[in-house]
Structure formats: C-alpha cells, structure tokens
Amino acid sequence: MSTMQSRRHFIRTAGAGLAGIGFLPILGPVGRLWQPGPLSFFPHAQPESQGVSSKGILAFIAAANNSGASWHSFMLLRHGHIVAEGWWNPYAAEFTHSLYSLSKSFTSTAIGMLVKEGKLDIQQPVISFFPKDVPANPSAHLQKMTVKHLLTMNTGNAADTLPPMWKSDTSWVQTFLAQPVEFEPGTHFLYNTGATYMLGAILHAVTGQTLEQYLAPRLFQPLDITGYDWETSPQQLNTAGYGLRVKTEDIAKLGQLYLQKGQWKGKALLTESWVKDATGYQTSSQEGNGDWAQGYGYQFWQCRHGAFRGDGAYGQYCIVMPDKDAVLAITSQTADMQQSLNIVWEHLLPALQDGVLADDPASAAALKTALKSLALPVVKGNITKPDTTAYQGKKWTLDKNDFNATTMQFDFSPAGCTWTTQTASGNTVLRLGWEKWVLNKERQSYQFPEAGLNHQPTKVAGTATWINDKTLQLNLRFVETLHGDQIQCVFEGDQLSVSFLDSLTAMTPGKADNRKALKATLAG
C-alpha cells in the first residue's frame, strides 16, 4: 500500500469499533456564536490592534463558505489574543470535536514531557519496553527500530500497522511487533498510525499510566483543557494516533504552547530543544503532495510559509506560524484538506501584518456580523405539508434489519419533528427543527451508524423538511464528532421506506452508502 493509500485508508476507517451508551435527549436551542466570556481562556482583541486585517478575515470566511467543505469552527490567535473565532451552527464553542490524527500531536507532547522528566531516551529500541511481546525471532530491522523512528514515521513498515491491530485477537502491541519491517528503520517514511499507538504503549510501560492519565496534571490541567475524552484499545490504553476530543480553543492552546517554545505561564512544560525537534524537519514526507511534502517532525507536519501543524482526517488543524506569532485552529469535514490550507495561505496569511493597523470600523462591523451568522446549509423543501395527520404519532413496524430496530414513530408539531426509534435496549428520541437546527443536548449513541463512523456518543442536532409530498428528509449533525447523516423517509400509504446517506459518503463521488434501506408497515 502506498503512503497516500495508507493515509486515505486510515481516513476512511479511523474510528471503527467505537461504542457508547445512548441517552434520551434534553432539548434546547443551539447556542449562538462568537460569545467572548467565560468560555474563552485567551483575551480578545480587535484584529487591527494586533496587526490583522478584518478584510482579510472576511475574505477567508467567504472562501471557506464557498469551498464546498463543511467548516465547523476556527479560532485565530495573534500575539496571544483571539482576533477572530467562529462556529458554524449547529457547532458551538462549548462542544468537544473529534480530532482524528491531530491526536498524534498530543501524544508527541506526552513523549516530550517524559523525555523532559528524564524517564525516556528516544534512541531506546522499541522492543526493549515489551520483552513479553517480542516475536521469538525478531528481525534485524525490528531490533533496530527506536522510539524516534516511531515519532518520525520511519519505522520501516511498508503498510500502516493499525488495520491488522484492529483485527487482531491478541494485544495491539504484540500485533504491531509481529508485523513485517520491510525497510531499515530511518530510511522509509510511512504515515503509520500504529506507530503512534506504540508511543502511548511505551509511555504506559514506563509510567504505568495511560496517555490521558499522564497528561492530565502535565498538560490538560495547566492549559485548562476540560471535558475531553480519548478512545481506548481493547487493552484500555488510549488509541494515541486518533480518538481524542477537545474544544476548538483547546487546539489553539496546544498551538500557543508550541509557539511559546514549551513555556506556559512562566513554566516550562516542554524543553525548548524538544519543541524545536518536534516541530522541525526530521524526515522527508509525502513527495509531491503539497503541504504534506514539506517534511515531518515528531508527529507534526511542516508547512509552506515557515509554518508547522498538527492535522487530522477531514480537516482538523492546529497551524502554528512562528514568523507571524500566530496560531490557527480549525475543525471541519472536507474531502480536500489541501484546499483548506490553500484558503488559509491565500487569505489569512496576507492578513497578518506587522505593527498596529489603522482602525477599519466598517470591516470590523461586517466581520462581527459574519461571525455571528456562520451556519451549515439547511436543506429546504416544504415545511407545511398538509396531510401529516395520517402518520401523526402512529407506530411503524420495521422488517428485520441490521440495526435490530423494531418500531418507528413520527410526531409533528409547528416547531418540528420528533423521531422515535425502538430497539431491544429501549427508545431513542431525536427532535429536529423545520429547516432550522435543534440541538439534542445529551450525548447519545446513533441508532443507525455507517460502519466505522459515528460510534462515539455525541450531542446531535437535526433539521427536517418535506422534499416532496411523500418524502420527509431528516438531516443530522453529530456535533461532537464531525460527521452527519441524511435520512429520507418515503411514505406510501401503509408502507414506509427509510434510507440513509452519511456525510462522508455524500462528499465522495461514486461511492454508495453501505446501509440497507429499512422497510416498515403501519401498525394496526
């Protein structure tokens, strides 16, 4: 599998095997945007006071909205101040968000702290930490693999080791060590999420703690990062290379820590030398692949324009621009991550200028309005369909299906639609607004997930509309992950058909959703 194929495979499959507990929702309106106050750790400042053009930020927002991608949030820091922040409704500042591979940069930070404490030498062989898990006759290449090779994605593996780890009946560590090491470590770059898991496993071998436990007093508490969670392997170790959820501002905090060379409130959380090595050029990377071809550090990518970044599948970014004294955090869902970076370089980078800029009241006012108005598109149809009384509150008996759902019910009101599904484990209730987002506040597990997606419990927002006389369309966003789902319910007398299209499939031309449509009959 090529490097790019490996990365695409992980992007498509990351998150498989996640599970959670369902809850009935507590309903309420989605919170509005751009509300400086107790949610904000950094001070706010007008862009021009920090040398940032409001016009440039407006151009960035316009390009983002016209990109075809689903942007969820951004926060721009300049000189340690928030000069612009926004969340596309129904996403909001208080929600955590799946990071996918941006989790790797947090794992690298933990390793840097372990090195700072004198408990780890990154030149140590990987097998030295796991004497009970090493194959009977380890290859010469495996014996040469060091912690640094894990950090720089130069393990010598020819394919990402994570997929076989997911499928394994033995421990993930044992499975990783059993994989072929075709190249001499240090000579072959391969984006390898299994290697990042091994960093977390090494930390556990040294400290007896998971990444989450180790980072709590050393990173999360000092940076006031709260409400986070991190998926775990079957061995109860954090997945390390993916699975962390934090808020947008928490992403910005990590970037600011690295911009400040490991210093935070006068205390060195990381050594300056570690920050330099972790965010600098350690190895060539994906040749010919734009911002992915600029080189790789310790779980950080090099960028054009003298920047570096942590990033995650579908457009999760922590971009640090040392020359501009700026940090940009982004969450989104996109099929073209390079396009998002191009928008940053084209519009935001030129907006970062030296000194203080002259006040621009008109642009500042327009920017404030634009930030408050950010929202994902809502499907439009007919919200006043006249004949819903035939289905109001009626139960539909579902044919046998892959989700073990037994009945459905639709309740209509002037405010929206309530969609209830019954399974052996109980009822799942979702409220959706007529062509406007309604938030179901309590985390719940989605009843109809596509394989590998939307298994984490999350708050859910939804809209509803009739796209024709027979078809009710429900649109969901899982606001603590980054995906969504479109459900079409076709009513034909006493027959109902329910089909699905997840947001990832929708943005992939030629790809079909793997879920079978549900069939139901109106209960007598």
The one-letter amino acid at 105: S
Q: What is the CA radius of gyration of the chain?
A: 24
Q: Which two tokens stand for residue 491?
A: 């009513």
* Same-domain check for residues 103 and 79: no
Question: Is residue 524 over pLDDT 90?
Answer: no
Quick one: pLDDT band at residue 384, thresholds 50, 70, 90? confident
Mean pLDDT of 46-59: 98
Three-state SS annotation for 45-65: CCHHHHCECHHHHHHHHHHHH
Instruction: Provide the mean pLDDT of the chain.
Output: 91
Between CA 417 and CA 445 the distance in angstroms is 19
* Same-domain check for residues 202 and 271: no
Question: Is residue 118 over pLDDT 50?
Answer: yes
What is the predicted pLDDT for the residue at 331? 98
* Same-domain check for residues 416 and 513: yes
**pLDDT tens digits, one per residue of 135-151:** 999 999 999 999 999 99
Select from 134, 30, 27 the least CA-distant residue to 88: 30
The one-letter amino acid at 6: S
**pLDDT tens digits, one per residue of 479-489:** 999 999 999 99
* Same-domain check for residues 310 and 358: yes
242 assigned to some structural domain = no
Mean pLDDT of 155-167: 97
76-90, 98-112, 158-172, 507-521: range with lowest mean pLDDT: 507-521
Mean pLDDT of 498-507: 93
* Same-domain check for residues 75 and 101: no
What is the predicted pLDDT for the residue at 128? 98
The enclosing domain of 441 has a CATH number of: 2.40.128.20
Question: Is residue 3 over pLDDT 80?
Answer: no
Show which of 324, 346, 376 is a domain's final residue: 376
Between CA 518 and CA 406 the distance in angstroms is 10
Q: Which residues of 488-508 are buried (b: 16+ CB within 10 A; e: fewer)?
A: bbebeeeebebebbbbbbbbe
What is the predicted pLDDT for the residue at 99? 97
* Same-domain check for residues 290 and 336: yes
What is the predicted pLDDT for the residue at 475? 97
27 assigned to some structural domain = no
* Same-domain check for residues 311 and 216: no
Cis omega (within 30 of 0) for bond into 90: yes
Show which of 216, 236, 256 is a domain's final residue: 236
Q: Which residues of 260-282 are buried (b: 16+ CB within 10 A; e: fewer)?
A: bbbeeeeeebbeeebbebbbeeb
Who's near 3: CB < 8 A, 6+ residues apart?
189, 190, 191, 286
User: What predicted TM-score, i.e. pTM, was given to this entire model?
Assistant: 0.91
Select from 430, 383, 319 the least CA-distant residue to 60: 319
DSSP 173: H
**pLDDT tens digits, one per residue of 430-469:** 999 999 999 998 999 898 988 777 678 999 999 999 999 8
Could you tell me the residue range of the domain that residue 178 belongs to? 96-236
Q: How far apart are the first and last CA of the chain?
A: 54
Number of domains in the chain: 3
Who's near 221: CB < 8 A, 6+ residues apart?
none
Three-state SS annotation for 408-467: EEEEEECCEEEEEEEECCEEEEEEEEECECEEEEEEECCCCCCCCCCCCCEEEEEEEEEC
What percent of the chain shows pLDDT beyond 70? 92
106 assigned to some structural domain = yes
**pLDDT tens digits, one per residue of 277-312:** 999 999 999 988 999 999 999 999 999 999 999 999
Between CA 229 and CA 110 the distance in angstroms is 16
Mean pLDDT of 199-223: 98
Q: Are strands 81-87 and 70-78 parallel, antiparallel or unpaired?
A: antiparallel
* Same-domain check for residues 283 and 331: yes
232 assigned to some structural domain = yes
The enclosing domain of 225 has a CATH number of: 3.40.710.10
Mean pLDDT of 80-84: 98
Q: Are strands 458-466 and 426-434 parallel, antiparallel or unpaired?
A: parallel
What is the predicted pLDDT for the residue at 13? 38
Q: Are 327 and 256 in contact (CB under 8 A)?
A: yes
What is the predicted pLDDT for the residue at 39? 53
Distance of CA 388 to the CA centre of its chain: 38
Quick one: pLDDT band at residue 31, thresholds 50, 70, 90? very low
Per DSSP, the three-state class of 98 is: strand
Q: Are 463 and 437 in contact (CB under 8 A)?
A: yes
132 assigned to some structural domain = yes
- What are the phi and psi torsion angles at 81 (to 5°)? -115, 145
Mean pLDDT of 64-85: 97
Show which of 185, 212, 236 is a domain's final residue: 236
Alpha helices of 96-178 — where are they, by DSSP H?
103-116, 140-144, 147-151, 162-167, 172-178
Question: Is residue 235 over pLDDT 90?
Answer: yes
What percent of the chain shows pLDDT beyond 90? 83
Element (H, E) at 202: helix 193-207
Q: Which two tokens stand for residue 366?
A: 């327009």
2 assigned to some structural domain = no
Mean pLDDT of 70-91: 98
Between CA 66 and CA 444 the distance in angstroms is 32
Question: Is residue 37 over pLDDT 90?
Answer: no
Residue that wins the pLDDT comparison between 232 and 507: 232
What is the predicted pLDDT for the residue at 101? 97
Q: Are strands 308-312 and 316-321 parallel, antiparallel or unpaired?
A: antiparallel
Quick one: pLDDT band at residue 29, thresholds 50, 70, 90? very low
Question: Is residue 250 over pLDDT 90?
Answer: yes
Quick one: pLDDT band at residue 198, thresholds 50, 70, 90? very high
* Same-domain check for residues 359 and 276: yes
* Alpha carbon distances (Å) from 378 to 106, 235, 340, 382, 436: 34, 41, 22, 12, 7
What is the predicted pLDDT for the residue at 451? 77
User: Crossing angle, helix 103-116 and helix 272-279, to 10 degrees?
Assistant: 150
Q: Are 150 and 195 in contact (CB under 8 A)?
A: yes
343: buried, middle or exposed (CB in 10 Å: 19+, 13-18, 0-12)?
A: buried
228 assigned to some structural domain = yes
395 assigned to some structural domain = yes
User: Crossing angle, helix 103-116 and helix 248-259, to 10 degrees?
Assistant: 40
* Same-domain check for residues 260 and 318: yes
What is the predicted pLDDT for the residue at 454? 62
* Same-domain check for residues 274 and 304: yes
Question: Is residue 402 over pLDDT 80?
Answer: yes
User: Crossing angle, helix 103-116 and helix 193-207, to 10 degrees?
Assistant: 40
* Same-domain check for residues 112 and 231: yes
What is the predicted pLDDT for the residue at 424? 80
